[in-house]
Structures are given as structure tokens and as C-alpha cells.
Amino acid sequence: MTTMKSNLHPSTEMLEKFVSGDLSVGVNLAISAHVEMCDHCKSAIQQIELRTADQWTNAESSSPAVYQADTASMIDSIIATPQLKEPIEEESEVGSIHMLDRSVKLPKVLAKAASEGLVWKQLGAGISQADVKIDEEAHCSFLYMKPGSQTPVHKHQGTETTLVLDGSMTDELGEYGKSDFIFRTNNDTHQPRTEDGCLCFSVLDSPLTFTKGLARLLNPINKLRFQRAVGSRVS
């Protein structure tokens, strides 16, 4: 995958949480896919890894439970296992998504996430969605907007992470292109639209609320859909 200049990146704080392993799986996927396309964040992450590891190594143990175990026998069993001389090579399947009018090559991590197959459903107004059931706490999906389409005005109750994978879109706050990473917190109301079509990966940690017109009728359905995607939890 060719790397390219990207305008919108995850914040430093998010990259730090990404490195220390504190984020949900869905957001991890979005950041990882962005980093694969972004040299800037790639090198930022190397620096953060060094810093984080340094803090980790030098931290006084604050954990009340001190690690106790029969270390000698554990070490025995470990060094009885063979060492690796070569990294384990995985045959990388080519991960592309075929849309009506285009075929998009996905970042590796998203290709993996989609490897069990995507089922597209129409949300209306030229927008389709395919869920990725991978995170019990967030709703992850691929969203495809046909050229010339626009989503109903909506509001977020939680956070919405969007990674643009192909094409472009605009909303009240700006214009976004391939590899742009957009993070929105609650109470941002917006209405993305696209001229030339747009494929995104989206992570929501709570359902969208549509705020205008007939689309409001979708709200109860949308909540239901979210609950289904998230799993068996009942509100």
C-alpha cells in the first residue's frame, strides 16, 4: 500500500492510548489502518513506544499484588520451546472491497477484519453499510456513500471515529479525503455528503440520533440495530 500525505491524524493523546493498549478494538482498528497509510503517524508511534516503554520500565510498582510464582519451573518450560529464526510469514490475502462503481484495496488490518465476508445493507439515500462484528463495546462498520449522496443530519451521543478509505466527503466542518482520520465527540451535529462517492470505516460507541425530517423515524430502528450489532446486551 502506498503511503500518502494525510491531513487529519489521530491526536497525540489518542496515539498514546493506542500504543499503551487502552482503546477499544474498533478504534484500534481505525488508528492502525490510518497509520498504515500515514508515515507521519508511523514515526510518531515509534517515538511514543520508546517513551511509553521507558515509563513502564521505570515505574515503581503501584500494583498491590506483587507477582509471585514458581519461576524456576516456568523458566524450565519456556526454554524447552524452540526459538524462531524467521518471522512467521502469513500469506496475505488481497483485501479489496468491490462496490458498484469501484474496487478499493483495504489496509491490511481492515482486510483481516472483513475477511469473514461483508454483508451490505441499504440504509437508503444511496448509503450502504456492512457491519464488522469485532468489538463488543462499539459498532464497527464499513459505510459506502454513492456519488452525489448525503446522510441525514445526525447527532452523536457517544463518539464517532471515521476513517476515509476511498473517495472524499464534506460536512459543515471540512473536506475529507483518503486516509483522513476524523474523531467526533457527542453533540456534534453534522451531515456528510459526497460528490464522487466515499468509502469509510466507522466506529460508534453509541447509536446515532437523526435530528431532522423523516429520518427521525429511523431513530428507534437505529437503536435496535445498534443493540444487535453490539451483541446481546439489553438496555
Partner 1 sequence: MTTLNATMDHMHMGNLASKAEPASKAASTSSRPLTQSDTDSDEKLLLDVGNHQSREAFNKLFERFSNKIFAHGMKITRNEQLSKDLVQEAMMTVWQKAPLYNSDRGNVQSWIFTLTRNRCFDMLRKQKRQPLCVSADDIWPAGMEDSESLVERDQGSLAVEFSNIERFLTQLPEAQQAVVEKVYLLNLTHEEAAADLEIPLGTLKSRLRLAMGKLRQLIGTSE
Q: Site residues (CB under 8 A) for partner 1?
A: 1-3, 19-22, 25, 28-29, 32, 36, 39, 42, 46, 49-50, 52-54, 56-57, 59, 61-63, 65-67, 69, 71, 74-75, 78-79, 81-87, 89, 108-109, 112-113, 115-116, 133-136
Which of residues 44 and 123 has its CB atom nearest to partner 1 in the complex? 44
DSSP 8-class letter at 215: G
Which residues in 192-208 are b (16+ Cβ under 10 Å) and which e?
bebeebbbbbbbbbbbb
Minimum distance, C-beta of residue 35 to Zn ion, in the bound complex (Å) = 7
Could you tell me which residues come within 8 angstroms of residue 205 by beta carbon, excluding any fewer than 6 positions away? 24, 26, 137, 138, 139, 158, 159
Position 163 contacts Zn ion (CB under 5 A): no
Which is nearer to partner 1, 107 or 167 (by Cβ)? 107
Comparison of 50 and 221: residue with beta carbon closer to partner 1:
50
Query: Which residue's CB is nearer to Zn ion, number 38 or number 123?
Result: 38
Q: What does the alpha-carbon distance between residue 139 and residue 136 come to, in Å, rounded to a whole number? A: 8
Of 144, 140, 90, nearest to 110 (Cα)?
A: 140
Would you give the binding string for Zn ion spanning residues 17-46, x where CB under 5 A is met? ---------------------x-xx-----
The number of residues making up the chain comes to: 235
Site for Zn ion, rule CB under 5 A:
9, 38, 40-41
